[in-house]
Every structure is written in structure tokens, then in C-alpha cells.
Amino acid sequence: MSLQRIINVISESDYKKHSLKTRKLIEKANKIILTPRELNERKMFWIYRVLGNDAEMKISRKHINDFQFLVLHILEKPKDNRFDDLRKYYKLDEETTDNLKFLMFPKKYPPGGYNKKLNKYGVEFYDPKVILKRLNFRDYIDLYSLMTYIPLDTKTPFVQNLLDEILSIDPLETSISLFNNIFDIVQALSPYEKQLIEIQLKNISFYHYKLLNSKKTKGVVVDGSNVIRHNNINKIDILLNLLDNLYTVDTTFFPCFIVFDRNIEYILRDQEDRDVLSKLSQKKRVYFESPADKLIVYLSNKLDYYMISDDKFEEYEFDENKLLDLRRFIDE
């Protein structure tokens, strides 16, 4: 393999789709990290998607204010010693630190471990700027796209079929037994097959990536009406956003029940939102009840599931540790 092999790869239609998705991810994560004062637990996951497990496990153990301060310190004067301060504080791997540099300044710094990951093409670059020039890359985001691209071709039909199965897992519909079967199959994969799956999932659905990699999986009951009414938005988009974000650092939530008040249809202003609600109502774990709170707490107590709401449910008895603030699960 040679430079011509890379040129052939980046001309493939699948690669171009991958490159567009990757650029969108990096640009969003870059925008988030460059405004450190606005960081919160949910926004940090966009950063972890790029920096990887080493960063997620180590940075999340300490207060987010520490990370905000260290990033601000770097932005004031982006020098190597300031990146080194952050690396030492969190005891990050060198490759993770290089990825942080890349994420913050993708026109200046290449991604960590780029030569190692380009070995599969039989080439090695001692100066990353040469890569940009020889391959006509716009910036190092294009290099990151090349590093993370693993085509699912005719040689890996099993992996492609399994990926489709994983992405079909619906927390509102899929049975626990089916999820467990898929999980067991993934755990039995070879390291190479797992890498294929994980790279695809990170680009397509981070929820499904976390579902297969979290330390804990727990059931959850969502206060659907409360979510839709959050900040008087009265839009179903906020609920759909929450369903994509049903994970924390060490826990992913599956299965999921949603309980709405019976009058929720009249709270939604747009017909399009009502149509989406109608489709959701066909899912087996979606309920309509008045008062909804009673059923939410009942399901949580009976099944030992968590609850997501900014309601306090003061009239009911339940384990307060099971109540999670919905703001932890939405992009604001």
C-alpha cells in the first residue's frame, strides 16, 4: 500500500460520507471547548467523543471547574507548557493530550498517534504539514477523518449486519433479552471487529456506543410532559434530544419508559409535533396517564428504575437518589 492507496480511499463515496460526519463532530466539539465557561456535564460528552476513554475516565472524576480553568489558561496563551499542566493534572496519556491540542486548534495541531494509525496504508510522515500538502487536505480534521475511517466492505458482512442490529436497539421497544443477546455477541468479537463497530457507532449514535461500553446499564422512566414543558418550550424536539442522550459517564439507561399526561397533545402547538407524538404512542413503553406522576413513581419503585424529571414528586414516596434532573440529558 502507498500514498496512492490513500488517494483511492479518500475518493470513495463511503469515505466522503464519513468525512462529512467527522467534520461536523469535530467542529461542534471545537466550538464547545472554545467556550469553556459554558461547559456542563452534557457538553463534555462531545469532547470525550474526540479525546476518548482515557479523558472521559480521568477528567470526569474531578470538578468541571478545574477543566474550565485549565482550558481558559490555555486559551489565554496556547503554549506547550500550559497543555502540559493539564496533562499532568489529569495524568492523561500523551496521545490524549495531542488530541486535545488538535481539538482546540485543528488548523495547527495534528491528531494524536496519526503515524501509528496511518501504518495500515504503508506510509509514514515525519512532518504532518506534508500530509496536508500531499493529500490536499483542508486542515487536520481531514487527517482525523482518514485515521478513523474503516470501510465496511464485502469482506465484513457479519460486522455490517451486527451494526444494523445494534442501531435497531430502541430503548422504548427492544426487549431486555434481545439487548442482552446482542451485547453478548459484541463482547465475543475480535479486537479488530470491535474497533470496526465502535468507530461506526461513535459517528452514528453515541448512545448506542455508550450502551455497549458503559460500566452500568439501568432502566429509567421519563416524565414526558415535564420534559416537553421545560422552559415553556412545549416542543417534542427536546424529548427526542433527551432520548439520544440517555447516558452519563458510567451509566447508560436502558430500557426506557415515557409517561405523558393525557392532555399532552393539546400542549403541543404544531401538528408536526403531534404527529411525532402519535408515532411515539405506538411504542410499547409509552404510556398516557393522569396524573402521570403517580404512574412514573409507581414504575420506578416497582422496577427499581431511575426517573428523569425536574418535578420533585413531593406527594409520593420514592428513593430520592433515583430522581435525575432532566437538564443533565439535554443540549442547552
pLDDT tens sequence across 259-281? 999 999 999 989 999 999 999 99
Q: Please tell me the distance from the alpha carbon of residue 58 to that of residue 90, in angstroms, as a whole number.
A: 6
Where does the pLDDT of residue 26 fall: very low under 50, low under 70, confident under 90, or very high at 90 and above?
A: very high
**Set of cell numbers at residue 60:** 470526569
pLDDT of residue 155: 53
CA–CA distances in Å: residue 331 to residues 21, 109, 216, 250, 311: 19, 28, 22, 19, 19
Identify the band that residue 1 occupies on the pLDDT scale cut at 50, 70 and 90: very low
Does residue 154 register a pLDDT over 60?
A: no
Give the mean model confidence (pLDDT) for residues 161-168. 93
The rounded distance, in Å, linking the Cα atoms of 324 and 311 is 10
DSSP result, 15-76: HHHHHHHHHHHHHHHHHHHT-GGG--HHHHHHHHHHH-HHHHHHHTTS-HHHHHHHHHHHHH
The residue-averaged pLDDT of 179-192 equals 93
The single-letter DSSP state of residue 282 is T
CA distances from 300 to 97, 118, 310 (A): 41, 49, 15
CA 17 to chain centre: 19
d(CA 242, CA 248): 12
Give the residue with greater pLDDT, 148 vs 223.
Answer: 223
Residues forming CATH 3.40.50.11980 domain(s) in the chain:
216-329
- Separation of alpha carbons 18 and 35, rounded Å: 26
Backbone angles phi, psi at 85, to 5 degrees: -60, -45
Residue 55 pLDDT > 60? yes
Cell 492507496 belongs to which residue? Answer: 5
C-alpha cell at 143: 487527517
pLDDT in tens, 241-259: 999 999 999 999 999 999 9
pLDDT of residue 127: 85
- Residue 168 in this model has a pLDDT that exceeds 80: yes
* Fold held by 216-329: Rossmann fold (3.40.50)
Say if residues 261 and 225 touch (Cβ distance below 8 Å): yes
What confidence tier does 84 reach under pLDDT thresholds 50, 70, 90?
very high
Residue 259, all three cell numbers = 409517561
Check pLDDT > 70 for residue 295: yes
Please answer whether residues 199 and 281 qualify as being in contact, where contact means their C-beta atoms are separated by less than 8 angstroms: no
pLDDT for residue 152 is more than 80: no
Mean pLDDT rounded to a whole number for the chain: 92
Task: Determine the Cα–Cα distance for residues 289 and 1; give it in Å rounded to an integer.
Answer: 62
